[in-house]
Structure formats: C-alpha cells, structure tokens
C-alpha cells in the first residue's frame, strides 16, 4: 500500500467514527450532524446541517423532507434545498 492509499484509509476510518445513521423520508444513509451558531439581525440561533457521507439512493433530499438521526435523537425537516460541497450532499435542517 502506498502513502496515498494509507492516507485515504486513515480518512475513511476517521469518517467512519464521525458519521451516524441518517433516515430521510424512510431511506437509510449515513451522515454527520453539524451545529454552528448563527446570527440574524438581533436574534441568535443555531444553524444545523447534515452532511451525507453515504447516500446510495437516486432520490435527492428536498425541502420539507423528514430527517432523523436516531443516535443523536434528532428529528427534523429539510429547511432549504440541499447542495453539494466537496462531492457530498449538505442538507440544512431546522
């Protein structure tokens, strides 16, 4: 195994430790829940996204689709259209 393959292998192991099961409209996948502070005018809020690390389905998540992350206890909906970043789907949730 060359240096590049070892690096990819390490990254795969790290991602495997970070992601968790995700269910979107009953379809299973894996993803990483991210929460970050957001400020809109005078209101402070928390912005949440799910980055899908594994999504083997043809169907793309859409606004108002139900999103569940059982391991984190999160049940929400897609708040705006998902987009791709670095080849992965990023889903803004409420």
| Token pair 């897609």 in the structure block, residue | 78
| Residue 26 CA to its chain's centroid (Å) | 15
CB of 94 closer than 8 Å to CB of 46: no
Map residue 27 onto helix, strand or coil.
strand
Q: If we measure between CA atoms, which residue out of 19, 88, 32 comes closest to residue 60? A: 88
Length, in residues, of the chain: 94
The pLDDT value given to residue 45 = 75
- The pLDDT profile of the chain, 94 residues, written as one tens digit per residue, is 899 988 888 877 776 678 899 999 999 999 999 988 876 666 667 789 999 988 999 888 999 999 999 999 999 999 999 999 988 999 999 8
pTM recorded for the entire structure: 0.76
Spatial separation of the C-alpha atoms in residues 50 and 22, rounded to whole Å: 9
Q: What is the structure's pLDDT at 92?
A: 94
């Amino acid at each position: 195994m060359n240096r590049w393959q070892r690096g990819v292998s390490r990254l795969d192991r790290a991602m495997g430790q970070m992601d968790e099961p995700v269910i979107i409209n009953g379809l299973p996948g894996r993803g990483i829940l991210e929460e970050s502070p957001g400020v809109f005018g005078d209101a402070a809020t928390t912005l949440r996204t799910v980055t899908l690390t594994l999504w083997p389905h043809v169907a793309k998540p859409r606004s108002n689709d139900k999103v569940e992350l059982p391991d984190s206890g999160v049940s929400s909906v897609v708040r705006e259209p998902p987009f791709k970043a670095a080849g992965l789907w990023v889903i803004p949730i409420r």
